[in-house]
Amino acid sequence: MKKVFAVLGDPIEHSLSPIMHNSAFEALDMDCTYHAFRVGKNDLENALQGAKAMGFGGLNLTVPLKETALSFVDADPLAAKIGAINTIDFKDGIKGYNTDGIGAKRTIEDEGVEIKDKNVLILGAGGAARAIAFTFAEAGARVNIANRTPERAMQLAAEIGDAKGYGLDIVDKGLDEIDILINTTTVGLGHSNGTLVSAEQMHSDLAVFDIVYNPLMTKLLQEAETAGARHITGIMMLVYQGAEAFRIWTGREPPIEIMKRTVMEALDI
C-alpha cells in the first residue's frame, strides 16, 4: 500500500516540497507519494490526528503552523527548545522535530560563510526564526532578532540568552556591524515584491540570506546584489531541511542532488 506524506500550511500553493520529495521517492523506487494541503491553525490538531489515523508516513509544516504544532506533538529535545515543529513522524505516536536550523546552517556554510563569532541579524521571530536563532547561537554567532512586534523579538532573545531583540526599525539605524542578514518572514514570497531592507541600508561585505525560495531572487536578494553584497537563495535550505526530514521518516539516505535538481528545474534555473 502506498505510503502518503504531505506538507501542511496556509498559504501552501508556493510549496515545492511535493515535487522535491516525490523525486526522491521515485529515485529510490519507494512506493510513496507526497502532497500539499492547505491547513490553518484552527484545523491543525484535527489534521494531525486525521493524518495519523489514515496511516500517513509523515508531515512537514510551514507557515503559520510551526509554533502551534508544539501543543499537539511529542517534541524531541531540540524542537522543544526551539519551540517550533516543521517535521512530524508517526512511527511511534506523533513525534515532532525541527530541521529548519540544520538546513539554514548547511546552506550558509556551503557558501563559504563562517558563522562563529559573526554578527547575525534575523528578520522575524516565528518558527523558522526560532530554529535559525538557536542553531546559529549554538554555532557561536552573536544573534540579533528584529521583528514587527519588538516584544516577540526580545522574548526570543531572552530565551536564547546571549542575544538581542529589536523592532524592525533597527534596520534604519544601519547594518554596518552586521555580517549576516537572514530574512525568515514571508515578505517577498510569491508575487509580492516587498523587502524589509534596501540596498542603501546594506554594505558590500554583508551576506544576505533569504529563506524564501519562490521566487528565487526575492526583492531582498535583488537589493543585496545591487549593494554588491553576497546573496544566498533559499533553495538549499529547502533541500537540506527536507533531506533531514526524509531521513527521519524513512531511515534512508536521501538523494540530495536529485532533490536539488528537481527544485531548480521547477524554478526554471
Please name each of the domains of the chain with its CATH number: 3-98+236-266 (3.40.50.10860), 101-233 (3.40.50.720)
The answer to whether residue 63 scores a pLDDT higher than 90 is no
Name the percent of the chain lying above pLDDT 70.
100
The amino acid occupying position 245 is: A
Question: pLDDT tens for residues 39-56?
Answer: 999 999 999 999 999 999
Residue 202 pLDDT level (bands cut at 50, 70, 90): very high
- What percent of the chain shows pLDDT beyond 90? 90
Find the mean pLDDT for residues 236-265: 96
* 269: pLDDT strictly greater than 80: no
Digit-coded pLDDT (tens) for 70-120: 999 999 998 999 999 999 999 999 999 999 999 999 999 999 999 999 999
Distance CA 161, CA 175 (A): 22
The crossing angle, in degrees rounded to 10, of helices 17-27 and 235-250 is 50
Is the pLDDT higher at 63 or at 4? 4
Nearest CA-CA partner of 221 in 206, 241, 236, 242: 206
Please give the average per-residue pLDDT across 235-251, as a whole number.
96
DSSP 69: G
- This prediction has a pTM of 0.88
At 191, the pLDDT band (50, 70, 90 cuts) reads low
pLDDT the model gives residue 192: 72
Active-site choice (66, 95, 105, 118): 66
Q: How far apart are CA 7 and CA 52, in angstroms?
A: 14
- The 3-class secondary structure across 198-264, one letter per residue, is CHHHCCCCCEEEECCCCCCCCHHHHHHHHHCCEEECCHHHHHHHHHHHHHHHHCCCCCHHHHHHHHH
What is the pLDDT at residue 14? 84
pLDDT band at 213 (very low <50, low <70, confident <90, very high): confident
The 10s digit of each residue's pLDDT in 139-184 is: 999 999 999 999 999 999 999 999 999 999 999 988 999 999 999 9
Summary mean pLDDT of the chain: 95
Lowest-pLDDT choice from 32-41, 52-61, 105-114, 186-195: 186-195
Confidence of residue 230 (pLDDT cuts 50, 70, 90): very high
Look up 66 and say whether it is catalytic: yes
